Amino acid sequence: MRAWVQEAFGGPEVRRLLDVAAPAPGPDEVLVRVLAVALNRLDVLQRSEAVVGGMSVPHIAGMDIVGEVAATGDAVDGDLLGTVALIDPVVSCGRCRMCVDDTPTYCADFATIGSTRDGGMAEYVAVPARNVLPVHVSPQDPEELARIAAVPVSGATAWRGLLGAGGLRSGEVVVIPGAGSGLGAVGVQIALSLGATVITLVSGESKKRRALEAGAHHVIDRTATLDWVAEVQSLTGGEGADMVWDHVGGDFLGASLRATRPGGRVVLSGTTAGLDTRLHLPDLYQPGRSILGHGSYGRADMAAAVAGFTEGRYAVHIDSVWPFEALPEAEARLESNDFFGKIVVLGPGLAPRGEDA
């Protein structure tokens, strides 16, 4: 099969399109023909270094996968053959207390498809059968395949951060950074569906316009203000937001605290801006604010998020769709930050609408 194989750590040159042996599914696994894979920030971060323990090279990235079951292991029901499915990238044993409690990322056998095991930037990928979530979409429909591929990681992460950890309620004011990112765009849609007032942060006038078109109530262009926290305070009559969903981390965390009302909360769901931070502790304890860790999203979170998007309750924002051979160009767009929504790469033999395969 053809696959984009990362052979070392570094720039785009470390990922090459090679002919390699197709994986053989284990007894409880299926072999999936990849139809589309959406890009995530982790795909380019771990190209530069092993940011996740257990990740090593050679490696095939790609966590957000939709594909067609092409073969089944000996212990798997053959009825799955030909099923078009979205793949949950979280792999766990399914038997331990952590798995029974639906916190699979705490399982001793936890692994991630596309990070600590090979992913979807290939013609085929082997995945546990229990990670297959059937969806009703034609394997020949590139637009719908791209829309479904955009859901898994962003959808489950946003669902867990806003609802599971954050407990966002109708009528509350929430700040969501990065509305132009795939994760931020999904979060805006989920928050709007709950009846929350959404304040989002973007960089640039074009992203501000698109965020408003996507339904955000207020959009702050960080390139046009020196103090986004003061903007939030102004928009809320000096009170601050009920919640900030911080999927950025780093120094953004301290600002997030200051943007919340007394008794407000910050949910930390990511660290793309840095693994460490400094806090002015009185901003935390004197107003009685809380910092909540995102924790493990479970299969119930994934199923709920997938249902919300596949049933049309939330909009999916696609920035661009690329043919398989153009993965380097798609990654370059992701690294440029000049995009809005998810960037999707189709599987081999498929082409974006209007192009020949």
* pLDDT tens digits for range 23-38: 999 999 999 999 999 9
Kindly report the CATH number that applies to the domain delimited by 2-150+318-346.
3.90.180.10
Determine how β-strand 111-112 pairs with β-strand 90-91: antiparallel
pLDDT of residue 14: 96
pTM over 0.75: yes
* pLDDT tens digits for range 150-177: 988 888 899 999 998 999 999 999 999 9
pLDDT of residue 339: 87
Alpha-carbon distance of 246 to 178, in angstroms, equals: 10
* pLDDT tens digits for range 173-210: 999 998 888 888 889 999 999 999 999 999 999 899 98
Cα angle, residue 181 at apex, residues 238 and 245 outer, rounded to 5° = 40
| pLDDT value at 337 more than 90 | no
3-state secondary structure of 262: strand
DSSP bridge partners of 220: 201
Query: Mean of the per-residue pLDDT values for the chain?
Result: 93
> What is the amino acid identity at position 59?
H
Q: Closest Cα partner for 187 from 209, 211, 216, 158? A: 158
| pLDDT value at 288 more than 90 | yes
Cβ-contact 83, 68 below 8 angstroms: yes
Binning pLDDT at 50, 70 and 90, where does residue 321 land? very high
Q: CATH number for the 155-293 domain, one of 3.30.390.50, 3.30.1360.70, 3.40.50.300, 3.40.50.720? A: 3.40.50.720
% of the chain exceeding 70 in pLDDT: 99
| pLDDT value at 316 more than 90 | no
Average pLDDT for residues 232-237, to the nearest whole number? 97
* pLDDT tens digits for range 47-96: 998 888 889 999 999 999 999 999 999 999 889 999 999 999 999 999 99
pLDDT of residue 173: 98
Alpha-carbon distance of 164 to 289, in angstroms, equals: 18
pLDDT of residue 279: 92
Alpha-carbon distance of 73 to 77, in angstroms, equals: 8
| pLDDT value at 15 more than 60 | yes
**Which conformational region is residue 333 in: left (phi greater than 0), alpha (psi within -120 to 50 degrees), or beta?**
alpha
pLDDT of residue 308: 87
**Which residues neighbour 64 within 8 Å (Cβ) at sequence distance 6 or greater?**
37, 38, 39, 40, 89, 114, 120, 149, 150, 151, 152, 153, 154, 342
| pLDDT value at 286 more than 80 | yes
Q: Closest Cα partner for 73 from 33, 24, 131, 27? A: 27
Binning pLDDT at 50, 70 and 90, where does residue 220 land? very high
pLDDT of residue 354: 60
Binning pLDDT at 50, 70 and 90, where does residue 149 land? very high
Domain parsing of the chain, residue ranges: 2-150+318-346, 155-293
pLDDT of residue 314: 81
Cβ-contact 180, 221 below 8 angstroms: no
Q: Closest Cα partner for 186 from 90, 317, 87, 64? A: 317
| pLDDT value at 355 more than 80 | no
Cβ-contact 357, 35 below 8 angstroms: no
% of the chain exceeding 90 in pLDDT: 75
Output Rg (C-alpha) for the chain, integer angstroms. Answer: 20
pLDDT of residue 357: 52
